[in-house]
Amino acid sequence: MKIPPKIQNQLSQFEQVRQQLQLLTTQRIQVESQLRELENAIQELDKTGKNTIIYKKVGSLFVKVDNKKDLHSNLTEQKETFDVRMKTLERQEKQLKERYTELQRDISNAVQSLEQ
């Protein structure tokens, strides 16, 4: 039995959506990890005393931080940026999952109608 062009097109779209979803999920996991790191860093920074010497990692070096407040602001800004990125990824992932399910249903219906 020859597969009609419409179904071939749907199968192609289905595969593309699957790959995009896989990539998006990987990105989301990476952003979640970075968010946790930032949250932990901010919490630890909040626990430090006023006279505690703090270092931040720059590449493969550790550099002494002169202004704890500036570091806290910087980490908080980074966290906010990652929060926005996370929300964007979650929204995109939700849309792709819906599209994936829709294509899956359409392909299944099309194949069933061919068999009848």
- Per-residue pLDDT 10s for the chain (116 aa) are 688 898 899 999 999 999 999 999 999 999 999 999 999 999 999 999 888 999 999 999 999 999 999 999 999 999 999 999 999 999 999 999 999 999 999 999 988 888 77
Q: Which two tokens stand for residue 33?
A: 């990890």
pLDDT at residue 35 in the model? 97
pLDDT at residue 3 in the model? 84
- Cα separation, 27 vs 49, in Å, equals 35
pLDDT at residue 111 in the model? 87
Q: Can you spell out the DSSP letters for 19-47? A: HHHHHHHHHHHHHHHHHHHHHHHHHHHHH
Which range marks the domain in which residue 15 is found? Answer: 5-115
- Cα separation, 94 vs 99, in Å, equals 9
pLDDT at residue 1 in the model? 66
CATH number of the domain residue 30 falls in: 1.10.287.370
pTM: 0.82
How many domains, the chain?
Answer: 1
